Amino acid sequence: MKKVCNVGEFVRVEADPENPGVAVIRIDRPKALNALNGQVTQEIAEAAAAASADPAVRAVVLYGGERAFVAGADIKEMADLTHAQMLEYSRALQNALTAVARIPKPVVAAISGYALGGGCELALCADFRVAGTKAKLGQPEIQLGVIPGAGGTQRLPRLVGPAKAKDLVFSGRHVRSDEAREIGLVDEVVADEEVYSAAVALVAKYVDGPAVALAAAKEAIDRGLETDLDTGLEIERLHFSGLFSTEDQKTGMRSFVEQGPGKATFNGR
């Protein structure tokens, strides 16, 4: 994998130097604690597209650095927007975060410091979340007289349940990492200085897996959660059947028959 796959002013995609196949989408707007303005939003969308399209990228880490994951949306930029302007602004923001959620590879958010508002919503787009002990997450939009607008009212209840989501959205309170783990908002809490390495370790174990099957599993789970059980089962069945056209399926089953489970070497095709 190239050293840098895509570079913007505030968002870049880099190869992790010690884990081939793991790419890092690095958000780096330090003076604003990585707040999401229009430019950062566009660059996140471009980074997600680059990571999705690059076959050398097998897993992704979302990282904002040691001070903050993403402190929220850029309130100064949006405060005076009209209704018509916000319709377009919010569409671009939702589309960018959805592009992250649709990356067809394992994705983990490495959360240090604040992940509030749009930052929490970005973290919700990952498959897993690793937080530092001092991290704080939340959806404080209600304190501004609005509601979450980039997925917080939809992805959050799907993750933690409607009652806990309503508590966080109605109150706007910040959640410390230990409570976030307790309610299922984050999956792992580690020392702040270990957030990045723990996140990389979490997804690095999938790098040598069957990439097409992993993408199918992710889409079946995510799409299935958006629909009824019968439709979800049909999504699963079609993906399951389709994987019998891949080289990895032939390799995996042949290896199982000849050598036993867990010994296959996959090529991602």
Say if strands 11-15 and 22-27 run parallel, antiparallel, or are unpaired. antiparallel
**Burial letters 13-25, b for 16+ CB under 10 A, else e:** bbbbeebebbbbb
CA–CA separation, 153 and 165 (whole Å): 8
- Answer yes or no: are the C-beta atoms of 190 and 181 closer than 8 Å: no
141 is catalytic: yes
121 is catalytic: yes
Element (H, E) at 242: helix 229-242
Identity (one letter) of the amino acid at 154?
Q
Altogether, the residues listed in the chain come to a count of 269
Write down the catalytic residue from 77, 88, 121, 258. Answer: 121
Of 142, 148, 119, the closest CA to residue 131 belongs to 119
CA–CA separation, 201 and 48 (whole Å): 20
- Answer yes or no: are the C-beta atoms of 218 and 224 closer than 8 Å: no
Write down the catalytic residue from 14, 18, 77, 141. Answer: 141
Tokens of 167: 């508590």
CA–CA separation, 176 and 134 (whole Å): 7
At a CB cut-off of 8 Å and minimum separation 6, what does 250 contact?
A: none
Q: Which residues are catalytic?
A: 121, 141
